[in-house]
Amino acid sequence: VATSAYQVEGAASEDGRGPSIWDHFCAQSGTIADQTNGNTACDHYHRWSEDLDLLADLGVDAYRFSTSWSRVRPQGDGEWNSKGLDFYERLVDGLLARGIQPYLTLNHWDLPQSLQLRGGWANRDTMQWFVEYALGIHARLGNRVASITTHNEPWVIAHLGNETGVFAPGIQHRATAMQVSHHLLVSHGLALQALRAEGCTARLGIVLNLSPVHPATREPADVEKARIEDGRLLRWYLDPLFNASYPQDILEFLGTDVPKMLPTDLQTVATPMDFLGVNYYSRQVISAGEPWDVHRSGRYVTDMGWEVYPEGLTELLVRLKNDYRVPPMYVTENGGAFRDTCVNGRIHDVLRADYITRHIDAVAEAIAQGVRMEGYMIWSLLDNFEWASGYDKRFGIVHVDYPSQKRTPKDSALWFRDFLVQQKALQQAAPPSRPRAEHGA
């Protein structure tokens, strides 16, 4: 299961943490649906031990979390904050003590605000500050974590943060967004090289948000628009990571908004990875005319308005295997926001359990079709701060009553716990004949 720092930790101005772009963004009026912020969130900064016990009760063997850059280095560069580093050390040691592997993400969107004031990810210098941050985390935790992800969902940071501006830092400028995407990709490669030079033993990779992109009809206008969307969402990230090039059709589409780059940048982006993380929620259906009505396919839709389309996950994973030389992959996020019903203290989230079951089956189908999968993680352990949607949208398999901070495992969590027990028993009875993928790309 997975979480991220800003969405769960709270303690926004405690123990020396500096402000991030999300603190700043939430303080602007009209940015967050319910006018909330991550100041308290799930108070995980104080309740981490209780939350790790929840993980142990669930029986999961891996926990994906992120470190907050502004908690460990409040200005982004300059002084380090030992209290922030101590927190993550307690967390990692607490996971290991419970037999749970730590999967650490360095950048789950919460750039220090003082770096944004210097241009944020559009400033080439931010890449070097990111490498320093990666090395600082590695020095304290690197030999104890199973994996390190550089960036979570660079498309979201670039596109939603800097092109449409619906996420922090709230910029609406396509050329800036494309420069941001380029610097995120290059800084990923630079961080991998620097971590390896330090002898890092954790598996290294990146996490992308990916969806199959389908045209609404076979009309040429829909097909063409879907191709561009596919290029911007998938190929813009996958082509440089695996082929050291940007897709030609998207370079042409962008015209003067193509990012500035140095001749060696794309080779840096293509530094080999140990794994690729895939976050999957739904497919995209693209229409050149009226927007596609998500209810049209007759499937159920989550509280985010996202169509439940599990076969899209199989389609996506098989495409990644066929089109790119991908390393072993993880589904690093998958799950749904639903309106949960509470009866006599039990939370009956039937749709969430159904969603998760169908997507686990979709991963199994991809494995049957020859895809190397190393893991599957539910988004999310806890109900938490869902960015611009605030606290209204609940993704957790564990319910959080925000006023009391009481945690209650939902039916989906109880189902998942039983499922894991069953899977472990089956594995012990008959070890899989499929050889485990080797470490390394």
Q: Are 304 and 222 in contact (CB under 8 A)?
A: no
Closest to ligand IFM by CB, 147 or 279? 279
The helix or strand, by DSSP H or E, that contains position 347, with its residue range, turns out to be strand 346-348
**Minimal distance, residue 337 CB to ligand IFM, in Å:** 7
Out of 22, 48, 355, 379, name the contact with ligand IFM by CB under 6 A. Answer: 379
Size, binding site for ligand IFM by CB under 6 A: 8
Q: If DSSP states are collapsed to H, E and C, what string results for 94-163?
A: HHHHCCCEEEEEEECCCCEHHHHCCCHHHCCHHHHHHHHHHHHHHHHHCCCCCEEEEEECHHHHHHHHHC
Rounded to an integer, what distance in angstroms lies between the CA atom of residue 207 and that of residue 389? 22
**Minimal distance, residue 177 CB to ligand IFM, in Å:** 18
Identify the active-site residue in 153, 163, 307, 386: 153
* CB count in 10 Å sphere of residue 328: 21
Q: Does 333 bind ligand IFM (CB under 6 A)?
A: yes
Closest to ligand IFM by CB, 69 or 246? 69
Q: How far is C-alpha 247 from the geometric centre of its chain's CA atoms?
A: 23
Q: Is residue 198 among the annotated active site residues?
A: no
Rounded to an integer, what distance in angstroms lies between the CA atom of residue 88 and that of residue 83? 9
**Minimal distance, residue 99 CB to ligand IFM, in Å:** 26
Q: Does 4 bind ligand IFM (CB under 6 A)?
A: yes
Q: How far is C-alpha 240 from the geometric centre of its chain's CA atoms?
A: 19
Closest to ligand IFM by CB, 246 or 416? 416
Closest to ligand IFM by CB, 133 or 391? 391
| CA angle centred on 204, ends 199 and 206, rounded to 5° | 150
Q: Does 25 bind ligand IFM (CB under 6 A)?
A: no
Closest to ligand IFM by CB, 190 or 362? 362
Q: Is residue 224 among the annotated active site residues?
A: no
Identify the active-site residue in 163, 307, 315, 333: 333
Q: Does 268 bind ligand IFM (CB under 6 A)?
A: no
For residue 406, the cross-strand partners are 401
User: Taking CB under 6 A as the criterion, which residues in 124-153 touch ligand IFM?
Assistant: 153
Closest to ligand IFM by CB, 131 or 381? 381
Rounded to an integer, what distance in angstroms lies between the CA atom of residue 218 and that of residue 266? 35
Closest to ligand IFM by CB, 289 or 305? 305
Rounded to an integer, what distance in angstroms lies between the CA atom of residue 49 and that of residue 47? 6
Contact string 382-401 vs ligand IFM (x = CB under 6 A): ----x--------x------
**Minimal distance, residue 292 CB to ligand IFM, in Å:** 19
**Minimal distance, residue 167 CB to ligand IFM, in Å:** 10
User: Taking CB under 6 A as the criterion, which residues in 149-178 touch ligand IFM?
Assistant: 153
Q: What is the DSSP string of 163-176?
A: TS-SSTT----HHH
Q: Does 65 bind ligand IFM (CB under 6 A)?
A: no
Q: How far is C-alpha 2 from the geometric centre of its chain's CA atoms?
A: 9
Q: Does 279 bind ligand IFM (CB under 6 A)?
A: yes
Rounded to an integer, what distance in angstroms lies between the CA atom of residue 289 and that of residue 9? 42
Q: Does 211 bind ligand IFM (CB under 6 A)?
A: no
Measure the N-to-C terminal CA separation of the chain; round to a whole number of Å: 24
Q: Are 412 and 394 in contact (CB under 8 A)?
A: no
Token couple for 199: 């002898």
**Minimal distance, residue 304 CB to ligand IFM, in Å:** 7
**Minimal distance, residue 410 CB to ligand IFM, in Å:** 17
Q: Contact residues for ligand IFM (CB under 6 A)?
A: 4, 7, 153, 279, 333, 379, 386, 395
Residues assigned a catalytic role: 153, 333
